[in-house]
Amino acid sequence: MTHPAIKTVTTSDEAPAIAVTVLAFSSDPAARWTWPDPQQYLMHFPSFVKTLGGKAFEHGSAYFVDGYAGAALWLPPEVGPDEDALIALLQRTGSASVQKDLLAVFEQMARYHPQEPHWHLPFIGVDPSQQGKGYGVALMRHALIPCDRDHALAYLESSNPKNIPLYERHGFELLGTIQAGSSPPIFPMLRKPR
């Protein structure tokens, strides 16, 4: 395979970048715990992507690969989601299990989230029909360039244990496991600059 073309998401690319993220997470354990009903998932996950990772669009740190085969949304240092809006969205739209365990999951996440400036990866995903072609690797490599250039930490929470080896190959280290009540395990990971 030739090197995939990575492009920065512009205003006209936001909808397709969100759409491929929705496809990529359609079987994700945490996403489907939150919205187990397919119709609810398709209705609410796009808003979740925008609320959690949307500031990547504003800061030029959202990327897509080869005609929207995949996308990555990175939040630069000192930029985070609107946590109140995120909690409100999940409380309003999430399943009964989410309602019961949401605050405990968020409290655990806060314990792992780095306090020092860092890049945060809320979403990286590849269309299931395009997986296994190196798009995820290409997106990850591209996004880690500024981390290494600026000697900045990178942080993510893997909601799918199948993805942990990919992140480890790129220098992320597993910090622990986040799990509360009926939630699936979520794996916080940190990468030091190289």
Q: For 143-162, how does the pLDDT look when each residue is reduced to its tens digit (9 = 90+)?
A: 999 999 999 999 999 999 99
pLDDT > 70 in the chain, percent: 99
In this prediction, residue 1 has a pLDDT band, given cuts at 50, 70 and 90, of low
Any domain includes 151: yes
Has residue 76 been placed in a domain? yes
Reduced 3-state DSSP string for the chain:
CCCCCEEECCHHHHHHHHHHHHHHCCCCHHHHHHCCCHHHHHHHHHHHHHHHHCHHHHCCCEEEECCCCEEEEEECCCCCCCHHHHHHHHHHHCCHHHHHHHHHHHHHHHHHCCCCCEEEEEEEEECHHHCCCCHHHHHHHHHHHHHHHCCCEEEEEECCHHHHHHHHHCCEEECCCECCCCCCCEEEEEECCC
Q: For residue 95, tell me if it sits in a domain.
A: yes
Average pLDDT of the chain, as a whole number: 95
Confidence band (pLDDT; 50, 70, 90) for 90? Answer: very high
pLDDT on residue 116:
95
Q: How many domains does the chain have?
A: 1
Which residue range(s) make up the domain with 179?
6-191
Across the range 83-91, mean pLDDT stands at: 93
Query: Does residue 1 lie within any of the structural domains?
Result: no
